[in-house]
Chains A and B, each alone.
Chain A
Amino acid sequence: MLETSADGPFVTGKVRLVHAVGMHARPAVKLTKLAKRFQAQISVRASEAADWINAKSVAKVMALRAPRDSIIEIKAHGDDAEAAVAALIDLVATDFPDAGS
């Protein structure tokens, strides 16, 4: 999905959190680590919360406390924004598999 705003184009996506206990510590670490691989500015929010948070801040992602079945929205802005959103959606949709690194 492509959405445009005053700051330029944003790539956005939504995914349902299937993890049994929601967005707790380990998923938060994995999401943050993956987000950091991209140059794009990436924000996430859960269940249409008012505030978007920086997906590269592990403390903030952990504080999301999104329960199971909540909808996680991701938006990114920058050269590799599309790849970033696709990768993060895949991570959440596949229930945060152990990547090995």
Chain B
Amino acid sequence: MSDTVGIVIVSHSRDIAKGTADMVRQMVGSEVKVAFCGGDPDGGLGTNVPGIIDAINDAWSTKGVAILVDLGGAETNSEMAVEMLEPERRKMVVVCNAPIVEGAVMAATEAAGGSSLEQVRAVAEELTAG
């Protein structure tokens, strides 16, 4: 019960990914693990599968990991990263269909209360349903 769902933020821009992670830490607190990745190694825009896998590992929790993404490739690369995990870990990672900043804050708030991965995803996606 002490462990909380981890949050991974994947943006094309490193600044957006880092800024979103900072916002989550400042608004929600440090009890939820938050990892981020974004940009390509040359400082340009982009996302990459190995970077996302590293972020998933950094945010790993026995309760699973919720990923928040921005556009197109961030989502497809995140799905690819999940596919490349070991089968038993694969089902403990979800890519949320939610706006990246708002979704990350809402998901982390829900996670901080000890909620399950499905509850965390549902709260993040509440914003999309409305």
In the assembled complex, which residues on chain A have CB atoms less than 8 Å from the CB atom of B127? 59
Residues of A within 8 Å of B109, CB to CB, are 29, 32-33, 58
In the complex, what distance in Å separates the CA atom of A25 from the CA atom of B26? 11
In chain A, positions 7-28 with a C-beta closer than 8 Å to chain B are: 25-26
Establish whether residues A37 and B113, one from each chain, have CB atoms under 8 Å apart when the complex forms: yes
Q: Are A58 and B29 interface neighbours, CB within 8 A?
A: no
Whether A58 contacts B31 by the Cβ 8 Å rule is no
Output the least CB separation between A95 and chain B (Å).
16
Q: Indicate whether B110 reaches chain A with its CB closer than 8 angstroms.
A: yes
Whether A36 is near chain B, meaning CB under 8 Å from some CB there, is yes
Contact (A26, B106) CB under 8 Å given A36-B112, A59-B123: no
Give the distance in Å from the alpha carbon of A36 to the alpha carbon of B113 in the complex: 6
Give which listed residue, B30, B106, B130, contacts A58 with CB less than 8 A. B106
- Would you call B106 and A101 a contact (CB within 8 A)? no
- Does A57 sit within 8 A of B, measured CB to CB? yes
Let me know if B83 is at the binding interface, CB within 8 A: no
Chain A, Cβ-Cβ closest to B28: A29
Instruction: Please state if A29 and B113 are interface contacts (CB–CB under 8 Å).
Output: no
Q: List the interface of chain B (C-beta within 8 A of A).
A: 27-31, 105-106, 109-110, 112-115, 123, 126-127, 130
Residues of A within 8 A of B (CB): 25-26, 29, 32-33, 36-37, 56-59, 99-101
- The 9 A-B residue pairs with the shortest CB-CB distance, nearest first, are A36-B113, A58-B109, A59-B126, A29-B27, A29-B109, A58-B106, A101-B29, A26-B27, A32-B109
